Structure 1
């Protein structure tokens, strides 16, 4: 796999994820109004520079409701253009930076209710924008791979440190939550501590061991990526995370480039 192909696949997959997340926000515009838990009138007070002076006025102009939805709409158009139109040169750089800036502002604007996919998409698009603007596609791909390995490993290692993830009660507890849970799955696993324990250990082991994918023999790479995708699909369906698959899958072309690029 050549760097150009890996970059383009990453751009398409990540762009679909951003488009889905943006349309979710636009479909529920009042999720950030002044009566929501993401009210900018309250959240702006978390930092001095967003609540006072000229910077505060600029922040209000960009992030206050309903003006913040304009940024989401722009992000949707930019992501769709990157996926469907495949622009190049300065136009591609502009669209990549628009998406990156909008994702960064969205993280500042609505810090509650997000999940790991938001951070992954921001890092991926930031890497793509830097590569398109300053060159260094190979560096960008290696950086995305390093970020993916860190994300998986840190998630698994953090779980290892907590006994509830080693004995399976943590997994069952998450499935019972209102935000990320699934009543059907929680019901099926209730009263089955051994199954919960083994599922939890499998999850923790897979996440922690993910960096070893870089040592995978190339013929086995499609199998491992397929298993990882299946895991993300199951989690996305179970927890209702519509962007979960797309965000992490956008890192896989970079993984493929790094692994297959070692073959000479």
Structure 2
């Protein structure tokens, strides 16, 4: 009877599905998958843009790296040439749907994450045109989540993987704000009107609102810089302030999606918030206590 009890305790101690770390990773994976799946679906609707006869074709893009023109590059050509590369995008779409499907277990999620990480690496190798911070963060989220699946019984390793995502998130916000503060264009507010008058990231409403209102443009610029620099305080701030920081971050990305067209940034960056919340002094403790209570029932 005693040995049986010990066996049950051992299984509980090593069981990973359903624990607090797995819950946080599941949220990270699903949120990131939303943006990546939408992006893959959009790319499939314009798959002919990947044709090798165009500027984004593999014959031209492989000249970026000398090594891609010989050796391993010749083998990659079988995968990255058109129309074979369309299968890579299709794999990404199916992998994203797998992560979003309810009830997908850890093994299924691991397979889907491998598809996401592999397809992301392949598409990035084929062409880095149009890629931005959201793509890089999505790759980090998927790859680190995949690595976590390799250590189902090592809580310390799994927690370290989650900490890496949280650290990357805090570092990304802080460095973005700190770099902006070194720019006189940002400190003066001119960056706001400069960005919103462009065709790529601009918005006529915001531009008209700020072009003749320098105090407003300056307030938006400084508000952005201060919010980004202070984001890491979410780790030590009291619960109401920590929740406000995360809510402010979400609102920031919603605004960027609406007025600058940076839709993918919302999903990639907000997807890191479950990891950040896990290590928050106020949010993480409460969340882990709730999950532990549910698991003991």
Normalised by the shorter chain, which TM-score bucket? over 0.9
Matched, 1:45 2:77: no
Q: Is the 8 A contact 1:131 1:140 kept in 2?
A: yes
SS in 1 for 2:263: coil
Q: Which segments of structure 1 move beyond 4 Å, counting only runs of 4 or more?
A: none
Q: Is the 8 A contact 1:9 1:253 kept in 2?
A: yes
Residues 57-77 of structure 1, C-alpha deviations (whole Å, 9 max, x = no match): 122222222322211111110
SS in 1 for 2:129: coil
Q: Is the 8 A contact 1:30 1:36 kept in 2?
A: no
Matched, 1:10 2:33: no
Q: Which residue of 2 aligns with 1:252?
A: 273
The 1:226–1:115 alpha-carbon spacing in structure 2 relative to 1, beyond 3 Å, is same
Q: Which residue of 1 aligns with 2:147?
A: 130
Q: Which residue of 2 aligns with 1:261?
A: 284
More moved, 66-75 vs 143-152: 66-75
Q: What's the CA shift for 1:262? A: 4.5
Work out which of the residue numbers 62, 74, 82 in structure 2 matches 1:57. Answer: 74
Question: What is the CA–CA distance in structure 2 between the aligned matches of 1:49 and 1:124, rounded to whole Å?
Answer: 28
Q: Is the 8 A contact 1:93 1:129 kept in 2?
A: yes
Residues 107-154 of structure 1, C-alpha deviations (whole Å, 9 max, x = no match): 222211122110111001111000012343311211110000111111
Q: What's the CA shift for 1:211? A: 1.1
**Total equivalences in the alignment:** 263
TM score, norm. by length of structure 1: 0.93
The 1:215–1:37 alpha-carbon spacing in structure 2 relative to 1, beyond 3 Å, is farther
Q: Which residue of 2 aligns with 1:109?
A: 126
Q: Which has the higher contact order (CA 8 A, sep 6+)?
A: 1
Question: What is the CA–CA distance in structure 2 between the aligned matches of 1:208 and 1:222, rounded to whole Å?
Answer: 16
Larger radius of gyration: 2
TM score, norm. by length of structure 2: 0.83
Question: What is the CA–CA distance in structure 1 between the aligned matches of 2:85 and 2:272, rounded to whole Å?
Answer: 28
Question: What is the CA–CA distance in structure 2 between the aligned matches of 1:179 and 1:8, rounded to whole Å?
Answer: 34
Q: Is the 8 A contact 1:155 1:207 kept in 2?
A: yes
SS in 2 for 1:243: helix
Indicate the RMSD between aligned Cα atoms, in angstroms.
1.8
Q: What's the CA shift for 1:34? A: 3.5
The 1:31–1:191 alpha-carbon spacing in structure 2 relative to 1, beyond 3 Å, is farther
Residues 221-264 of structure 1, C-alpha deviations (whole Å, 9 max, x = no match): 32221111111001011111221211111001111111133468
Q: Is the 8 A contact 1:15 1:83 kept in 2?
A: yes
SS in 2 for 1:206: helix
